Amino acid sequence: MSEAGRRRRKQRLSDAERIRRQEAWRRRLKMAAFASGGGLILLLVAPLASDVAMGAAKRAGECRIVRVLDADRFRLSCDIVGRQTARLLGADAPASLGVDCPDEFYAGQRAKWAVRAQLWAADEVRADLDGFGWRETPLVVVTVDDRRLSGWLVDEGLARADDGYGRGGWCQGEIDALRGGPS
C-alpha cells in the first residue's frame, strides 16, 4: 500500500474513532440527564410517599398526617371530617412556598424538614383537631412521642409561639423589628 493510501486509511480510522468517541460521550450525557431527572423526581416524590407511609404507620389520634405542607401546616385524613388542611396550634413557622424573601424560604425549608425528621423518627404521632383559627382554618394539636410539636418547634428556634394575634413576617428586617433590634 502506498504512503498516500496509508494516510487516507489512518485519517478514516481517526474519523471513525472521533465519531465513536462522540457517540459514547452523547450516551454518557443522556445517561447523566436521565439519572439527574430521576433523582429530581425521587427528590420530589420520596418525601410525599414517606409522609403518607409515616402517617399510616404511626397514627394514634383521631387524624393522621398525610402530608407535611409547612412546619405548621399539614394535610390530614380524619375519621369524622375526612381530608383537610389544618394549621398547627401554638406555633407560627415560616412558609416554604409563596415567600417574601430568601431568608423566609430557607427558614421555612429548614423547619419543614426538621418536622419531617421528627415525625419519621417518632414511635407515636398523635394528631387531634382542636377548634378553628383565623379564616375558619382547622387547628390541630400534634404530639410526637408525648411532646407537643409546637413546643418543640419554638424551643428549637424554628417557629414563634403563636398567640393568636396575627402573623409577623420572616424576612430579616421584620425579625429584627420583632426583636427590637435594627431595622
Per-residue pLDDT of the chain (183 residues; tens, 9 = 90+): 677 777 666 666 677 777 787 787 777 777 776 666 655 555 555 565 556 555 555 566 788 888 899 888 999 888 887 888 889 988 888 887 787 888 888 888 899 999 998 988 888 888 888 877 777 788 889 999 989 999 999 999 888 888 655 566 777 655 555 455 554
What is the predicted pLDDT for the residue at 148? Answer: 93
What is the predicted pLDDT for the residue at 183? Answer: 45
Residue with cell 493510501: 5
In Å, the largest CA–CA distance within the chain is: 95
pTM, two decimal places? 0.64
Contact (CB, 8 A) for 114 and 175: no
Name the residue among 113, 114, 110 with its Cα closest to residue 170.
110
Name the residue among 92, 142, 100, 141 with its Cα closest to residue 118.
142
183: which 3 cell numbers?
431595622
Strands (E), the chain: 63-70, 73-78, 82-88, 91-92, 125-132, 138-144, 147-148, 160-161
